[in-house]
Structure 1
């Protein structure tokens, strides 16, 4: 047969002419796609949870730092008060000696 004759004999296939086996992989692919999407969603959720945990940790660290700063300020104030008391006591002792 010549090429021209082969072209004349060719008729495009309808969907009905294609065997069901040709579509068999489609359902599996669909399930694979679903699985992939589920995995992506899980990964996004995990990332979100990790980010939340990190935010909570950062907030806790900030609170701890603030508490430490407050404690340091209190200690400094106490030290200043003690120094003032000592100076007053020394002055009183000097006055008493005179």
Structure 2
């Protein structure tokens, strides 16, 4: 999903000042959880959604453990968060929410 150039920019950003990118990660996770909740309230929670919610929280924890010490792996976690965000944003829009 992320280009190599974008990944390199994100890695450098984390190395210089992790606060900006971490704020974005927190916002994307919160937005994704909100999308999940909207879908759940309208259609009910599926097994897949429950797994994705757990996965999202696990990825966020992994990011939190890595962003200061292993920026490359932290960016991999960000990419996974973006993938889930994109998935649930599209589902929310498809349901007209």
- Tell me the TM-score normalized by structure 2: 0.28
- Greater relative contact order structure (CA < 8 Å, 6+ sep): 2
Give the number of the structure whose residues are more often helix, by fraction: 1
Which structure would you say has the larger Rg?
1
